[in-house]
Amino acid sequence: MPPVRPPLQGLAVPSGRLARLAKFGGLASGIAGTMLADGARQLSQGKRPTVGDLLMTPANAIRVTEQLAQLRGAAMKVGQLLSMDAGEMLPPELADILARLRSDARHMPEVQLRAALNRRWGRGWEDRFETFDFTPMAAASIGQVHRGRTIDGRDLAIKVQYPGVRDSIDSDVDNIATLMRVSGVVPKTLDVTAILSEAKRQLHEEADYDREGRYLARFGALLADAPDFRVPALHADLTRPTVLAMSHVAGVPIETLAEASQEERDRVVTLLVQLLLRELFEFGLMQTDPNFANYLYDPVTRQIVLLDFGAARDLPPAIVEGYRRLLRAGITADREAARRAALDIGFFAADADAERQDQAMALFDLAMEPLRRPGPFDFSETGLTTPLREQGMALAQDRSFWHVPPIDTLFLQRKFGGVYLLASRLRARVDVRAMLEAYI
């Protein structure tokens, strides 16, 4: 029998700018010290380590993970995205360490939670509740979720934002960018100004729970005709800019379906791909966060429960039409039409040399090849994912080709990748081509 893991204790969130800056300063100096020590040791052994080798060590990964977990907010969000988006490219031990940022988020202690609710709901808010569980059901980068039952009988899930998160977003992103530049992880020739600005905007939007509540209600209305999905109902009377109240919906993590029947796995992934296409081509509105925790599965009703709409964004019609043209060209193997569509979408820069463009389009052809065949695609096949990863990593290592795409494209690609990763995890077999043909 495996040992029982003790529950994580509450950990106060540093809310002041000086307190957070001190954490970043300590993180930078700690990493630098570790790099110097490791570098000296390897040089004494006759090795010539690179800056990247010294930076990405288990000791530094642990240091980064622990500090970002305490900071929460934008700092922790970046670490979570790195662990999810780059996990396949990192050594397994580093990916495992960074994955703690997704599974081991530390909640704030009760005294800090009570103070946060007092500020938003006013003192005496407890009188409105029959029960309120001060131990969170979940804790993430920006807030934590509690269950409560009101005096009038409503069973609620209440997301409470960590104090100071909204005010620290800009400085956190700037501090992380400085660490990346100093470490050499990002080449000096790559202009990340636009993406950092967009990252700040996106994080400010995710930290606005009034905004998330509006998107929660919009998705609920858009999916009212879809009985296979369930969206929690918004409770506006208890929602504030840093507190989001919604109906509590039961379910299990969607990854647990990995042990379900092939038929059920295929059905669930088919529904998720259909939803992705509806978001892109019908709604012009997409929830762009691919985190698996945003999906639950209700084994009683067999419904997919959708959570967390902080990263929802409206899609410009030009982007939607660009993807329609790209997918149409991909399925018909029209390389030149696909290249023009990819250029319009911003997959690569207009001044990228022909050889690099050809490499990128060859990668796109490889990804589209299974969709040119009729019938279900088996997401468990490794014959495609392995060469895709190898060729993609080879292209990514050529820093002369690095390019920051338009932010809408970036977020869409993250969502596509997240759905693909979940489909692979569930080993589903889905007729993606048939669903695509309805739209392109």
Residues annotated catalytic, as ranges:
289
Q: Would you say 335 and 394 are in contact if contact means Cβ atoms under 8 Å apart?
A: no
Which residue do the tokens 């092939």 mark? Answer: 262
Q: Which one-letter DSSP state was computed for residue 11?
A: -
Q: Which helix (H) or strand (E) holds 377?
A: strand 377-378
The one-letter amino acid at 211: R
Of 155, 144, 80, 79, nearest in space to 110 by CA: 144
Residue 277 sits at the vertex; the CA angle it makes with 392 and 307, to the nearest 5 degrees, is 90
Let me know: does 136 contact 145? Beta carbons within 8 Å: yes
Burial class for 2, CB neighbours closer than 10 Å (0-12, 13-18, 19+): exposed
Q: Are 348 and 395 in contact (CB under 8 A)?
A: no
**What residues are paired with 145 via a beta bridge?**
138, 159
Q: In this structure, what token pair is assigned to residue 57?
A: 């060590």
Q: Using the structure block, give the residue that is written with the tokens 């820093």.
A: 399
Entry field: residues in the chain: 440
Token look-up 């059901």 returns 137
C-alpha of 184 from chain center:
24
Write down the residue that tokens 């995710």 correspond to: 206
Q: Could you tell me if 85 and 107 are in contact, meaning their C-beta atoms sit under 8 angstroms apart? A: no
Which token pair is 429? 């077999």
Question: What one-character-per-residue DSSP string does 160-182 give?
Answer: EEPTTHHHHHHHHHHHHHHHHHH
